[in-house]
């Protein structure tokens, strides 16, 4: 596995542990359906939370969450829609981001609740 893929998996593991410690229940990790994918799907307080995890080794080009552009948001929302339909979920939903920067074995994790809303089309 490529080094950036390993870093991404480690970031998802850190994010899942962090969320569980905060009372979230992880429903799915690295969910795929065709070309659709979601990093983490969790639930808390009767809300389904779709979590995009961004892990980087530097902030030289911006914070990890800065790399979530409009196109990525549309892909996440479309994937969440597929997940909701497939699992027949009828609950409130929210889109969060967990941003992780790993530098020399130290990491900084930031949880951004309700990081974005689905675009209106």
Which CATH number characterizes residue 91's domain? 3.40.1350.10
Q: How many domains does the chain have?
A: 1
What is the tens place of the pLDDT at every residue in 20-73?
A: 999 999 999 999 988 899 999 999 999 999 999 998 877 667 777 878 889 999
Quick check: is 30 in a domain? yes
Question: Which residue segment(s) compose the domain that 82 sits in?
Answer: 3-112
Q: What is the pTM of this model?
A: 0.90
Strand order in the sheet with 36-44: 25-33, 36-44, 47-56, 92-103, 106-112
């Amino acid at each position: 596995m490529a080094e950036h893929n390993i870093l991404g998996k480690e970031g998802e593991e850190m994010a899942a542990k962090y969320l569980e410690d905060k009372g979230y229940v992880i429903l799915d990790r690295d969910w795929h359906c065709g070309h659709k994918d979601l990093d983490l799907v969790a639930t808390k307080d009767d809300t389904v939370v779709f979590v995009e995890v961004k892990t980087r080794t530097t902030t030289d080009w911006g914070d990890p969450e800065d790399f979530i552009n409009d196109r990525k948001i549309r892909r996440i929302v479309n994937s969440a829609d597929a997940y909701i339909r497939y699992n027949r979920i009828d609950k409130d939903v929210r889109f969060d981001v967990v941003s992780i920067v790993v530098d020399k074995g130290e990491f900084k994790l930031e949880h951004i609740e309700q990081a974005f809303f689905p675009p209106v089309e």
